[in-house]
A = this chain, B = another copy of it.
Amino acid sequence: MPKYTKKNLSDEAFERLGEQFKAFSEPMRLRLIYALMDGEKTVSELVKETGGLQANVSKHLRMLLEAGIVERRKQGLNSYYSIADPSIFELCDLMCNSIRGRLTAELDSFSAARSSATA
């Protein structure tokens, strides 16, 4: 028996994973998630903060809601949205670091080129 066996992922698992990643794949939705890192906010607040149109913000919030990324609480005239799953912060951090890592590597390669050119 091997130390580590790669788990078999079903077709459904790949679909589900893809959908989840897709929820994070639009700048507007990332802006919304980012804005909600301060805590619960209303749609109007999010509209102001992201600079989007109300209809578009509502639509993206709906997608985030259906993806299970945010929660909604209705009170009076307002809908209050908040992050449903805190593990999202880690996820975004990790992705940011991954990008940063690659950019740093790229930057280093340029520096290396310059220093070997001037050496």
User: A1-50: which residues lie under 8 A (CB-CB) from chain B?
Assistant: 6, 9, 11, 14-22, 24-27, 29-31, 34, 37-38
**Helix, strand, loop or mixed for chain A's interface?**
helix
Work out how many copies of this chain go into the complex. Answer: 2
Q: Are B14 and A18 in contact (CB under 8 A)?
A: no
Number of interface residues of A (CB under 8 A): 37
The chain B residue with its CB closest to the CB of A17 is: B30
Report the bound CA distance from A92 to B16 in whole Å: 12
Contact of A54 with B by CB under 8 A: no
> Given the interface contacts A87-B97, A87-B101, A94-B87, does A22 sit within 8 Å of B20 by beta carbon?
no
Q: Judging by beta carbons under 8 Å apart, are B17 and A95 in contact? A: yes
Q: Report the separation of the CA atoms of residues A26 and B94 in the bound assembly, to the nearest whole angstrom.
A: 19
